[in-house]
Chains A and B, each alone.
Chain A
Amino acid sequence: MRNLRIVMSFFVGLFILTYGIITGLTHENVTAQSDGQDGTFDVVGYNNAPTFISFEGPDTNGATLTPNQTYSVALEIEDIDGLSDLKKLDLIMYYVDPQPTSLSALGSAFDAITTTTIDGTSFIMRWENTATSAAVNSAAGISTGASADAPDAGFHVVSQSAVSSDISWEIINSTVPAISGTAIPGDRFRFEVEFKISKVAREAVQSQWRFGARIEDARIIENFVAAEQINNGNTTVAALQSDFSPVATGTSIQVSDRYNMAFYGEVNVPSGSSLTWLDLSPGVQFSDEEVVSLSGITFIANSDHNRTVKTEAFWTATGAGVVGSGEITTSQPNKNYTGASITSELFDATTEQKFRLGVDTTNAYSSGSLVLLDDTFTFKTIESDQATLEAGQSRTYYFFIELSNLFYDADYIGDVIVGISNRVITE
Chain B
Amino acid sequence: MQQFMNDSRFFKYILVIISLVIGVSLIMHSLLADQVVYASTPDDDTVDGEFQSSGYNNPVSLTKFTLEDRTRVGNIIEVVDETTSPVSVTTDVAVARAIESYEYIIPQQEYTAEFTLHDRDTYQDIESVELRIFYNVSGSGMTNGAVMASVEGTPDSGTGAVIKWQRNVHNNQFFVHNTQASVSWEVINSTVPALNVTSESMTFEVTFMVSKVARQSNDQEWHIGINVIDSLTATGITESNLFAEIGMSDTDPINATPASFNMAFYGEVELPDGITLDWGAIKPGSDFAENQATTGSITFLSNGNFDTEISSSTLWQATNTAIDVGDATLVTDPAVATSTTPQAFGLRFNDSDGTHALTGGSPNAETVNVEGVDLDNGLPATAESGVQRSYAVFLAISKDFQNATYNGEVIFLVSNNVEDLSLVDGGGQ
Interface on A for B, CB 8 Å cutoff? 16-17, 19-27, 29-46, 48, 80-82, 227, 229-231
On chain B, which size bracket covers the interface?
35 or more
Interface on B for A, CB 8 Å cutoff? 69, 72, 77-83, 90, 92, 94, 97, 104, 106-109, 264-271, 275-285, 291, 293, 295, 298, 309, 311-313, 316, 320, 322-324, 393, 395, 397, 399-416, 420, 422-423, 428-429
Docked-complex contact B283 and A45, CB < 8 angstroms: yes
Supplied contacts A37-B412, A81-B322, 16 more A-B pairs, CB within 8 Å: A25-B72, A25-B94, A29-B422, A30-B267, A32-B267, A34-B413, A37-B275, A39-B407, A39-B410, A40-B406, A41-B282, A41-B291, A41-B405, A43-B397, A45-B403, A227-B403
| Chain B residues near A36 (CB-CB < 8 A) | 271, 313, 409-412
| Chain A residues near B265 (CB-CB < 8 A) | 29-31
**A-B contact list, 7 entries, CB within 8 Å:** A20-B80, A24-B77, A31-B420, A36-B411, A41-B280, A42-B406, A46-B401
| Chain B residues near A30 (CB-CB < 8 A) | 106-108, 264-267
* C-alpha spacing A285/B283, complex, angstroms: 85
Chain A, Cβ-Cβ closest to B404: A43
Docked-complex contact A41 and B416, CB < 8 angstroms: no
| Chain B residues near A229 (CB-CB < 8 A) | 283
Query: Binding site of B, secondary structure by majority: helix, strand, loop or mixed?
Result: strand
| Chain A residues near B282 (CB-CB < 8 A) | 41-44
| Chain A residues near B77 (CB-CB < 8 A) | 21, 24-25
* C-alpha spacing A37/B274, complex, angstroms: 9
Docked-complex contact A26 and B278, CB < 8 angstroms: no
Docked-complex contact B428 and A27, CB < 8 angstroms: yes
| Chain B residues near A80 (CB-CB < 8 A) | 323-324
Docked-complex contact A231 and B278, CB < 8 angstroms: no
| Chain B residues near A27 (CB-CB < 8 A) | 69, 104, 106, 109, 264, 428
**Residue in A21, A23, A36, A80 whose Cβ sees the most chain B Cβ within 10 Å:** A36
Docked-complex contact A16 and B401, CB < 8 angstroms: no
Q: Tell me the minimal C-beta distance from A78 to chain B in angstroms.
A: 11
Q: Tell me the minimal C-beta distance from B326 to chain A in angstroms.
A: 12
| Chain B residues near A35 (CB-CB < 8 A) | 269-271, 411-412
| Chain B residues near A26 (CB-CB < 8 A) | 428-429
* C-alpha spacing A16/B270, complex, angstroms: 42
Docked-complex contact B92 and A24, CB < 8 angstroms: yes
Q: Tell me the minimal C-beta distance from A225 to chain B in angstroms.
A: 11
* C-alpha spacing A43/B405, complex, angstroms: 6
| Chain A residues near B80 (CB-CB < 8 A) | 20, 23-24
**Residue in A16, A19, A30, A229 whose Cβ sees the most chain B Cβ within 10 Å:** A30
Docked-complex contact A40 and B407, CB < 8 angstroms: yes
Docked-complex contact B323 and A48, CB < 8 angstroms: yes
* C-alpha spacing A21/B420, complex, angstroms: 23
Option from A17, A19, A33 in Cβ contact (under 8 Å) with B413: A33
| Chain B residues near A45 (CB-CB < 8 A) | 283-284, 403
| Chain A residues near B309 (CB-CB < 8 A) | 34
Docked-complex contact B83 and A16, CB < 8 angstroms: yes
Q: Tell me the minimal C-beta distance from A9 to chain B in angstroms.
A: 13
* C-alpha spacing A22/B92, complex, angstroms: 11
Q: Tell me the minimal C-beta distance from A226 to chain B in angstroms.
A: 12
Q: Tell me the minimal C-beta distance from A48 to chain B in angstroms.
A: 7
Known contacts being A24-B92, A25-B94, A35-B270, is A41 close to B106, with CB within 8 Å? no
Docked-complex contact A43 and B402, CB < 8 angstroms: yes
Chain A, Cβ-Cβ closest to B391: A37
Docked-complex contact B92 and A43, CB < 8 angstroms: no
Docked-complex contact B323 and A37, CB < 8 angstroms: no
| Chain B residues near A25 (CB-CB < 8 A) | 69, 72, 77, 94, 97
Q: Tell me the minimal C-beta distance from B329 to chain A in angstroms.
A: 13
Docked-complex contact B399 and A44, CB < 8 angstroms: no
| Chain A residues near B313 (CB-CB < 8 A) | 36
| Chain B residues near A81 (CB-CB < 8 A) | 322-323
CB-based closest 5 A-B pairs: A32-B415, A36-B409, A34-B413, A41-B279, A39-B277
* C-alpha spacing A35/B309, complex, angstroms: 11
* C-alpha spacing A72/B400, complex, angstroms: 35
Q: Tell me the minimal C-beta distance from B181 to chain A in angstroms.
A: 22
* C-alpha spacing A350/B413, complex, angstroms: 122
Docked-complex contact B283 and A29, CB < 8 angstroms: no
Docked-complex contact B406 and A29, CB < 8 angstroms: no
Docked-complex contact A46 and B277, CB < 8 angstroms: no
| Chain A residues near B428 (CB-CB < 8 A) | 26-27, 29
Docked-complex contact A31 and B423, CB < 8 angstroms: yes
* C-alpha spacing A22/B96, complex, angstroms: 11
| Chain A residues near B69 (CB-CB < 8 A) | 25, 27
Known contacts being A29-B106, A32-B416, A44-B283, is A37 close to B399, with CB within 8 Å? no
